[in-house]
Chains A and B, each alone.
Chain A
């Protein structure tokens, strides 16, 4: 099985604080991998380093055959067309309608006619599980779950090979969260997508993820299928998997300090 993403020996220092101290893991083609860890362990930061938004102190990120941090700027732009990102808050353009949001990357990176782009936009909106009528709405008029779906539609616009998702189910009610999980799994399986997501949602872990990577104290302390990782005898992992009620659905407050810090 070919490797789509390989992170090796990542070290990160932010605001004088050591966040990652030699983080490494791989994601194979077609896999859905979850990155877990306490709030403030640097999951979001690691994701941003994988997609070329934040340069790590040292270490390697190989994504879709390219070394992200050795690419010239136009090489990075070309690479960015091959993966999609779902930011934690959706990051939809608030002054554009849903359809215009999905159209934005198509308009920028393809030379399709408006009519053809409209057809592609309609398809992506449907693939993301939104009713076609949602196309004309502004992000402010959408519920949390619909916002995530609209952002997903935009992330799918350029037929990406890989998806990065930062806490896709945070802020959703359990029913919408499970529906979103199912949608994501279906899309990954049917479109042949590889996905790396961060999450605090135990149901996501048990329900749809192939593999879990646990970040703790600046290192990867466990990497494997959920059932195996949950059995590991480590203090943090044990409390994480037993803290069902406390952990379920909590949003990730950046550095709010309720998690264990390394």
Chain B
């Protein structure tokens, strides 16, 4: 006779008896498994399972016995039961019946190369969806030209308010502070050469050409781009998009076009507002640190800042806007029906739009070398 804690294995005249002694429940499963694993099983012979000394038994404990016996070559129907009460017999019948079908082969874990391939093919699979959305948006815009009354004016103004008006305070603060910091740093250098007045040239060019449009684009991508994706994605999850389609409305017309046009209208305005606030910030520093009065500052600016530069800076804004709106809406529609996907797509919107903004900015610089 061998004894190992929760069970005892006895040789009988006809074969073997496995007596269950302890508490065969989930809480003890790890210990039970260890006890079973450290035990040598008899080669063959009929097995009798004895439950007369059991303290407790649940489905997990029973599964352990079943699976370990099966691994040792003792198939279940061949096991004889004795000493179990009626409740345990019912449990045994159910569990062994359900476990009778063979275990499924676990899915193969993918290696690095396979994962890489999956990512690449996943990225390539995005392309048709993007092209389709592009086509649908173009079609929607053309439809709008033919029938302007179909435009969702209300939704457009709601979006315009949240994209444009809602962003004013943060745009004001950011561009003003960047103007202050930029003028301050430039001022320290310029002062050494006694060329104080040139602060106006440097600051106004940089803000109008690069800083304000870029800053506004970053802010809008983070605020409104993320919001577009999350809104459309959540509507996708709750099947609201399908509801819109079944009501005979076009999700493009109802959701995408108002957002696209709102952002295209709002971003140049925000950029111009950013120009003003940035220059104001710089002028404040110039007045207090470099002895340049506001009057001198703005007179000088009129001479050195060509209108072309300002319009060049502002002309980037609609391009940024189209890119952000398109990426955001595409990601919104690409949300699959689970909660994590909304988060993943929202992150993707922000990252991809920022990359797109920087690329477009570089493209503008290359195409307009004279400015």
Contact = CB atoms under 8 A, between A and B. Distances in A.
Contacts of B58: 159, 191
Interface in B1-59: 25-27, 29-30, 33, 58-59
A120 B340 contact: no
A139 B336 CA distance: 12
B238 to A, nearest CB: 12
B25 A135 contact: no
Interface residues on B, range: 20 to 34
A140 B29 contact: no
Contacts of A190: 90-91, 93-95
Contacts of B107: 136
A121 to B, nearest CB: 10
A95 B339 contact: yes
A123 B338 contact: no
A176 B87 CA distance: 27
Dominant secondary structure at the B interface: helix
Contact of B26 (A110, A113, A186): A110
Interface stretch (B97-105, B129-137, B163-171, B219-227): B97-105
A167 B98 CA distance: 25
A132 B104 contact: yes
A50 to B, nearest CB: 23
Contact of A159 (B59, B90, B106): B59
A120 B338 contact: no
Contact of B94 (A94, A133, A140, A191): A191
Contacts of B95: 123, 127, 190
Contact of A119 (B25, B67, B93, B340): B67
A187 B97 CA distance: 13
B30 to A, nearest CB: 5
B101 A126 contact: yes
A146 to B, nearest CB: 15
A192 B101 contact: no
B235 interface: no
A110 B29 CA distance: 9
19 contacts: A94-B338, A94-B339, A95-B341, A110-B26, A110-B27, A112-B30, A113-B30, A119-B67, A123-B59, A123-B63, A127-B94, A132-B101, A156-B59, A159-B25, A187-B94, A190-B90, A190-B91, A190-B93, A190-B95
> Which 9 A-B pairs rank lowest in CB-CB distance, beginning with the nearest?
A95-B340, A94-B338, A190-B94, A140-B337, A126-B98, A132-B104, A190-B90, A123-B63, A159-B58
Given A110-B26, A123-B98, 10 more contacts: A94-B339, A110-B29, A116-B33, A119-B63, A119-B67, A123-B59, A140-B337, A158-B26, A187-B94, A191-B94
